Chains A and B, each alone.
Chain A
Amino acid sequence: MIESRSNWSWALGGIMVLAVLPFFLSKFYLHLASTILIMALFAMSFNLILGYTGITSFGHAAFFGVGAYTFALLSIKTNWPLVLNICLAPVTGALAAFVVGYFCIRLHGILFAMLTLAFSQIFYTIAFQWYGFTGGDNGIVGLPSPAILAWDKGFYYFTAAIVSAGVVILWRLIHSPFGYTLWTIRENSLRSSFIGVEVNWHRLIVFTITGAFAGMAGVLFAMLDHQAFPNYFHWSLSTEVLIMALLGGMLTFTGPALGAMVVTLLRYWISSYTLYWMIFLSLILLIIVLFLQKGIIGTITERMKPPELRT
Chain B
Amino acid sequence: MDFWQFLSLSWLPPLSILITQLLNGVARSMLLFLISSGLTLILGILGVVNFAHGSLYMLGAYTCYTIMIYLAQDAYSFWVALILAPIAIAIVGAIIELFLLRRVYEAEGIMQLLLTYALVLFFSDFVRLVWGPQYRDVNRPEVLGGAVFWGKVIFPSYNLFVLILGPLVALFLWLILYRTKFGKTARAIAFDREMASALGVNVPFLYTTVFMMGCGLAGLGGALAAPMGSITPTMDISIIVESFVVVVIGGMGSFGGALLGALIVGVAHAFGILILPRIAMVSIFVVMAVVLILRPWGLLGNPLGPLTK
Chain A residues with Cβ under 8 A from B282's Cβ? Answer: 122
Q: Is the CB of B129 within 8 A of A117?
A: no
Q: Is the CB of B121 within 8 A of A110?
A: no
Cα distance A235–B240 in the bound complex, in angstroms: 13
Q: Say if the beta carbon of A107 comes within 8 Å of chain B.
A: yes
Contact of A278 among B110, B122, B240 (CB under 8 A): B122
Query: From residue B136, how far is it (CB to closest CB) to chain A in Å?
Result: 19
Q: Is the CB of A282 within 8 A of B241?
A: no
Chain A residues with Cβ under 8 A from B241's Cβ? Answer: 114, 117-118, 121
Q: Is the CB of B285 within 8 A of A239?
A: no
Cα distance A288–B114 in the bound complex, in angstroms: 9
Q: Is the CB of A114 within 8 A of B125?
A: no
**Among listed B64-72, B86-94, B144-152, B244-252, interface-contacting one:** B244-252
Q: Is the CB of A276 within 8 A of B114?
A: no
Q: Is the CB of A278 within 8 A of B285?
A: no
Q: Is the CB of B292 within 8 A of A282?
A: no
Q: Is the CB of A111 within 8 A of B252?
A: yes
Chain B residues with Cβ under 8 A from A277's Cβ? Answer: 125
Q: Is the CB of B126 within 8 A of A285?
A: no
Cα distance A117–B113 in the bound complex, in angstroms: 14
Q: Say if the beta carbon of B278 comes within 8 Å of chain A.
A: yes
| Residues 228 to 272 of chain B near chain A (Cβ within 8 Å) | 237, 240-241, 244-245, 247-248, 252
Q: Is the CB of A106 within 8 A of B292?
A: yes
Chain B residues with Cβ under 8 A from A118's Cβ? Answer: 241, 244-245, 285
Cα distance A40–B289 in the bound complex, in angstroms: 33
Q: What is the number of residues of chain B that contact chain A, defined by CB distance less than 8 Å?
A: 40
Q: Given contacts A107-B296, A290-B103, are A122 and B114 in contact (CB under 8 A)?
A: no
Q: Is the CB of A113 within 8 A of B292?
A: no
| Residues 90 to 144 of chain B near chain A (Cβ within 8 Å) | 100, 103-104, 107-111, 113-115, 117-122, 124-126, 128-129
Q: Is the CB of A122 within 8 A of B281?
A: yes
Contact of A107 among B100, B126, B292 (CB under 8 A): B292
Chain B residues with Cβ under 8 A from A279's Cβ? Answer: 121-122, 125-126, 129
Cα distance A106–B248 in the bound complex, in angstroms: 12
Q: Say if the beta carbon of B49 comes within 8 Å of chain A.
A: yes
Query: From residue A273, how far is it (CB to closest CB) to chain B in Å?
Result: 14
Q: Say if the beta carbon of A103 comes within 8 Å of chain B.
A: yes
Contact of A289 among B51, B104, B122 (CB under 8 A): B104
Q: Is the CB of B125 within 8 A of A289?
A: no
Q: Is the CB of B117 within 8 A of A239?
A: yes
Cα distance A109–B125 in the bound complex, in angstroms: 26
Q: Is the CB of A103 within 8 A of B104?
A: no
Cα distance A110–B40 in the bound complex, in angstroms: 13
Contact of A286 among B51, B100, B128, B293 (CB under 8 A): B100
Give the residue among B100, B117, B126, B252 with the most A Cβ atoms within 10 A.
B117
Cα distance A288–B111 in the bound complex, in angstroms: 9
Residues of B within 8 A of A (CB): 49, 51, 100, 103-104, 107-111, 113-115, 117-122, 124-126, 128-129, 237, 240-241, 244-245, 247-248, 252, 278, 281-282, 285, 289, 292-293, 296
Residues of A within 8 A of B (CB): 56, 58, 103-104, 106-107, 109-111, 113-115, 117-119, 121-122, 125, 129, 235, 239, 242, 246, 276-279, 281-283, 285-286, 288-290, 293
Could you write out 8 A-B pairs with CB less than 8 Å apart?
A: A113-B113, A122-B285, A276-B125, A276-B128, A279-B122, A281-B121, A289-B114, A290-B104
13 more A-B contacts (CB under 8 A) besides A115-B248, A286-B100? A104-B292, A109-B113, A117-B241, A129-B278, A246-B114, A278-B124, A278-B125, A281-B121, A283-B122, A285-B121, A289-B118, A290-B103, A290-B115
